[in-house]
Amino acid sequence: MLALENYILGSWRKGEGDGQVLYHAVTGEPIVTASTKGVDFEAVLNYARKTGNPALRKMSFHERGLMLRALALHLREHLDRFYTISYQTGATKADSWVDIEGGIGNLFSYASLRRKLPDTPFCLDGENHPLGKANTFMGHHLLIPKEGVAVHINAFNFPVWGMLEKIAVNLLAGMPAVVKPATVTSFLTEAVVKEIVASGILPDGALQLICGSAGDLLSHIGSQDVVTFTGSAKTGLLLKSGKRILEENVPFTMEADSLNSIVLGADVEPGMAEWDLFIKEVRKEMTTKCGQKCTAIRRIFVPENKMEAVQQSLSKALAQTVIGNPLHEKVRMGSLAGETQRKEVREQVQKLLASSQIIYGSLDSVELTDADNTKGAFISPILLFNQDPHNSSEVHEVEAFGPVATLMSYSSLEEAISLVKKGKGSLVSSIVTADTSLANEYVLGAGMYHGRILILNQQCAKESTGHGSPLPLLVHGGPGRAGGGEEMGGLRGIKHYMQRVAIQGSPDMITAVSKVYQPGATGNLDTIHPFKKYFEELAIGDQLMTEKRLITAEDINRFADLSGDHFYAHLSQTDFTGTMFEKQVAHGYFIMSAAAGLFVDSYEKNPVLLNYGIDELRFTKPVYPGSEIRVRFTCKEKIRQEKKEPADINKGIVKWLVEILDEMDEIVGIATILTMVERKD
């Protein structure tokens, strides 16, 4: 029998011994074995730290982002092979799409985040903090990639997505990873990693894979490492309380299975679009991946006067679900990942039956298409009913990790919120309603118990990604039972793999360290106008002090007529008694426009291709007729851009600090403007 390989220390290696036998979820046939016996886990971690980490830390965010994009494009070329292997896990084409192409989508999403980050290996975090009146001492926060390795221990239900959604974040942050997928479906993870390695896109040591037992892996982690875990709360607690994790204060992010809920708003009636959306969402979450999703709906709360109608509608919808061989074109729900999972689901349902009853489905029988229930790990969707949810503990504590959900009633939204909270923390909850006041009450009442809340109605239905779909740019995690951690979350996610360090010093020092000009730092005055310099020729701190311009009442009147902005403060005939102003005041946008007239190099073509926008514009002091303004114009930050098409112009984005000063050298306006500047190379 074929044996899976571990990708460690720069090569593919089989574990010693016979290993654990992995079975085809549909046919029950043995397909491969997996073993990590003989693997030196301490050496694996050290290889990541000493080889992969330095290579990634030297790369800028933009280089790492482009690396992720190249990897995503490469993996898309091998989808057919991944899908073929995925069927062996019991997944349908739709299930596999979520896992495979959803995972690749995470790579694309994090690749695109490079545009929000500097073209450096590190970045500033938040705003600067002046710490002295003379502006010679300041503070800031810097995010620097850690020198360790990210250890990802993943669940069996998403062997591709579970890996890619995590490594996309740590690789963008500049940290290597060791991935330990759940053994039962690790053959699919191995196939994807084979293609990643074959592509040659990642630096050596950036990614390692272990297929089988984690052995003493967590006994060798240190303070610069990060551990993430996806799986049961029981296992997560055991790992989180490990000796090294506690001794070294290792960041541990846990995403545990939770008793996620959906609430039908009291305003929703049969025949409404929201009613159909509710039924469709519950059915989808019960049957997608055969209910093997950490975000699947486990508890269903409906108004007590609609219980019978919901039960009938749900039973009818579930009865239309064709179950069987996922390769069959009519099948919409495949099997569980293996016989072990089926046994566990049945055991958990038995616990739920202590206070609930089955109103749809069966633990022992299921009608199949092109499949044999004695060979494959098939199970019927099971809908339970609990008539006393306030006094039943099992329904709020026991999770059957399969196509199982429990229906319960509530008499008021306040009661529904109280019942939802009994789950003690969930990854996600949904409320289906067309009533904005109900949505507001639910989110504010239950939000502290969830990592994400979907408000589903007719308006967003077509574009909604659904209850069970975590998104790369939103946090994935939840409080309490859900693990208390966060994954993904866009830019928030990369901070888990970086050290935030407070830096203090003079503006010149903070500028030199951060590669971003800080207010008050010494400028580089030059006889060459900065707009005449190509991207490569500009240096952070290049500065222009402009000539002065006198602001007149005629200027203000003409701008009012031109713009149509005749706000009372800009009119000379206004009685200014009781206002914030002494007399007619210049429009802030006129002052910004006048400033542009001072710092823009006019008439002749230059490397500046266009004005890209204005950020952080503030008007800090009134400008009256008779005032003189000038501009301190400083190169603040440079971000190189890649070409989208071969014929594109080589270019980059330059951020400029615009400080508008009056005759007393006090700042009356401040902004960051962005220009697109041509590159020579």
- Sorted by sequence, the CB contacts under 8 Å of residue 172 that are 6+ apart come out as 61, 64, 65, 68, 110, 111, 113, 114, 494
Distance, in Å, from the CA atom of 207 to the CA atom of 104, rounded to the nearest integer, reads 16
Question: Among 212, 190, 276, 227, which Cα is nearest to 485's?
Answer: 227
Distance, in Å, from the CA atom of 258 to the CA atom of 476, rounded to the nearest integer, reads 12
Parallel/antiparallel/unpaired status of strands 260-264 and 297-303: parallel
Q: Three-state SS string across 605-649, please?
A: CCCEEEEEEEEEEEECCCCCCCCEEEEEEEEEEEEEECCCCCCCC
User: And the tokens for 537?
Assistant: 């020729």
Q: For residue 542, count CB atoms less than 10 angstroms from its CB and return exposed for 0-12, middle for 13-18, buried for 19 or more.
A: buried
Distance, in Å, from the CA atom of 113 to the CA atom of 104, rounded to the nearest integer, reads 15
DSSP 333: B
Catalytic annotation on 635?
no
Question: Among 436, 433, 108, which Cα is nearest to 275's?
Answer: 433
**677: β partners:** 608, 652
Distance, in Å, from the CA atom of 153 to the CA atom of 230, rounded to the nearest integer, reads 6
One of 5, 165, 255, 274 is an active-site residue; which one?
A: 255
Catalytic annotation on 294?
yes
User: And the tokens for 464?
Assistant: 């909604």
Angle at 573 between CA 571 and CA 574, to 5 degrees: 70
Distance, in Å, from the CA atom of 310 to the CA atom of 302, rounded to the nearest integer, reads 8
- Cβ(14)–Cβ(163) under 8 Å? no
One of 123, 211, 290, 294 is an active-site residue; which one?
A: 294
Distance, in Å, from the CA atom of 677 to the CA atom of 641, rounded to the nearest integer, reads 10
Q: Identify the helix (H) or strand (E) that includes residue 313.
A: helix 307-319
- Sorted by sequence, the CB contacts under 8 Å of residue 73 that are 6+ apart come out as none
Question: Among 68, 100, 108, 66, which Cα is nearest to 84's?
Answer: 100
Each as own residue / partner, the long-range contacts of residues 597-603 (CB below 8 Å, 24 or more positions apart, any chain) are 597/549, 598/546, 598/547, 598/549, 598/629, 598/630, 598/631, 599/544, 599/546, 599/631, 599/633, 599/658, 600/531, 601/529, 601/531, 601/532
Distance, in Å, from the CA atom of 618 to the CA atom of 595, rounded to the nearest integer, reads 13
Can you tell me which residue has the tokens 């607690």? 237
Amino acid at the residue 479: P
Distance, in Å, from the CA atom of 239 to the CA atom of 485, rounded to the nearest integer, reads 14
State the catalytic residues. 255, 294
